[in-house]
Amino acid sequence: MANFDLTQKYEFSSSAKRWSIIMILLGVATVAFGLMSGNADRTFANLLLNSYYMTGICVAGLFFIAVQFVANAGWSTSLIRVPSAFSTVLPWAGLILVAVVGAGLATGHLYQNWANPALTDHNSPEFSELIKGKSGYLNTPFFMIRIVGFLLVWSLFMRVLRKYTLNEDLVGGLLNYNKSIKISAIFLVVFGFTSAIFAFDVIMSLEAKWFSTMFAWYNFAALWVCGLATMALTIILLKEKGYFGWVNESHMHDLGKFIFAFSIFWTYVWFSQFLLIYYANLPEESVYFQERWSDHYFIWFCLNIAINFVAPVLILMSRDSKRNFKMMKIVTILILCGHWLDYYMMIMPGTMGEKSGFGIIEIGTTVGFIGTFAYLMLNSLSKEPLVPKNHPFLNESLHHEI
């Protein structure tokens, strides 16, 4: 076995910095253009999509770390600093999400299916008994409190776990590891409930009259697959640049299995939601798929399943492709695009209806968010060594072979 430089640190190169800043500027320019050119609704829908996507990836990083601690997993130790870097971006991603949601509510461009005061005003012609009945839960102050609260709580868990892993680098021993397990277990319980309500609030309430309990798991599956795919892609790209020499095919195999399994889990939940609504055929439920079955969306509806289910199943089923870095790179990019489309299918019919499209605003905003995530994440990654050198399972991970 080759000797690896375990003190290796990621150096945030000036070209990576330059490119991510260019992407951020492109994103800011697109958003400004979108708001100026009378496409405010569409711009806000895109901002919501991307900030929700980014928050999901960051919190998936935290979730990954917590799962590894609670499962006493050893294989992932040598690459755990990547999800750890994702999780440090969580407060920033949360800040952007809260800003987008807050601005959207304040300017009346988001959540108009329940936040519009006319809907709960008895004297208004638009008054809706249904929305009035939900207004004890779906009202702007409580809504903002929940979203800010969840993001704050998750960020606090991130800070504590991050503190433990950095402290472990300094003092060694098992103390920080044991404390991490405890805090991870608490986080998983908290996250299990809060992530469900978070998905109901941020996305499902866009179509306030519609409801599905499956939606929580559907969104969790999406954010988890996206997080895993981003992790794998980040590691592959960094490995191409000469970092992570110790990450071998077996690590990639495990990540590939995760991505494969949770792509199927995503489909399972997606289909469970779909089948029950299709079968029961209740008008207040089936309206959701009626919208997505229209001529305007149907092709994207089908493409969503093709990219996020058929492609990972067929490509990642074989062991060889999971162990092939080039193949994994293609698949993870495909899945990340696919889940962008999945979020698009969740958000656009409820906000833009038949007027949604795919153009400069969609591309520009996404590019801006990719740049933001890359900049913040790589900046955080460059601060600490790439390996937690005192982690008790480090040796197991370096010798990982399956």
Partner 1 sequence: MSKVKYILGHFDDPDVMMSGIDQLQKSNIAIEDVFTPFPIHGIENKLGVKRSRLPIAAFCFGLLGTITAFTMVYYMLVIDWPMNIGGKPAFAFPDFIPVMFELTVLFAAYGMVFTFFYVNHLFPGRAPRVMDLRATNDRFVIAIDASLNDINSVDAVLKEAGAIEIKHNERKYISYDEE
Q: Minimum distance between the CB of residue 268 and partner 1, rounded to whole angstroms?
A: 9
The answer for residues whose C-beta is within 8 angstroms of residue 83's C-beta and 6 or more apart is 60, 61, 62, 64, 65, 227, 231
Beta carbon nearer to partner 1, 42 or 253: 253
Q: Minimum distance between the CB of residue 281 and partner 1, rounded to whole angstroms?
A: 5
Beta carbon nearer to partner 1, 187 or 274: 274
Q: Minimum distance between the CB of residue 324 and partner 1, rounded to whole angstroms?
A: 15
Q: What is the binding site for partner 1 (CB under 8 A)?
A: 271, 274-275, 278-281, 317, 319, 401
Beta carbon nearer to partner 1, 252 or 347: 252
Q: Minimum distance between the CB of residue 7 and partner 1, rounded to whole angstroms?
A: 28
Terminal alpha carbon distance of the chain: 15
Closest C-alpha to 22, from 379, 339, 368: 368
Q: Minimum distance between the CB of residue 171 and partner 1, rounded to whole angstroms?
A: 32
Q: Minimum distance between the CB of residue 79 and partner 1, rounded to whole angstroms?
A: 21
Are 229 and 259 spatial neighbours (Cβ–Cβ below 8 Å)? yes
Q: Minimum distance between the CB of residue 270 and partner 1, rounded to whole angstroms?
A: 12
- Quick check: helix, strand or coil at residue 28? helix
Beta carbon nearer to partner 1, 106 or 275: 275
Beta carbon nearer to partner 1, 51 or 321: 321
Q: Minimum distance between the CB of residue 249 and partner 1, rounded to whole angstroms?
A: 13
DSSP string, 311-333: HHHHHHSSHHHHT-HHHHHHHHH
Q: Minimum distance between the CB of residue 284 and partner 1, rounded to whole angstroms?
A: 16
DSSP single-letter state for residue 307: I
DSSP string, 86-154: HHHTHHHHHHHHHHHHHHHHHHT-S-TTTS-GGGG-TTSTT--HHHHHHTTTS-HHHHHHHHHHHHHHH
DSSP single-letter state for residue 9: B
Beta carbon nearer to partner 1, 142 or 278: 278
Beta carbon nearer to partner 1, 241 or 319: 319
**CA–CA separation, 190 and 195 (whole Å):** 8
Beta carbon nearer to partner 1, 114 or 274: 274
Which pair of structure tokens corresponds to residue 392?
């008790």
Helix (H) or strand (E) holding 257: helix 249-280
b/e per residue 130-149 (b: at least 16 CB within 10 A): ebeebbeebebeebeebbbe
Q: Minimum distance between the CB of residue 275 and partner 1, rounded to whole angstroms?
A: 5
DSSP string, 362-394: HHHHHHHHHHHHHHHHHHHHTTSBSS-TT-TTH
Residue type, 236: I
Beta carbon nearer to partner 1, 177 or 309: 309
Q: Which residues pair with 385 in a beta bridge?
A: 9
Closest C-alpha to 263, from 295, 300, 232: 232
Beta carbon nearer to partner 1, 136 or 279: 279
Are 221 and 265 spatial neighbours (Cβ–Cβ below 8 Å)? yes
The answer for residues whose C-beta is within 8 angstroms of residue 140's C-beta and 6 or more apart is 105, 115
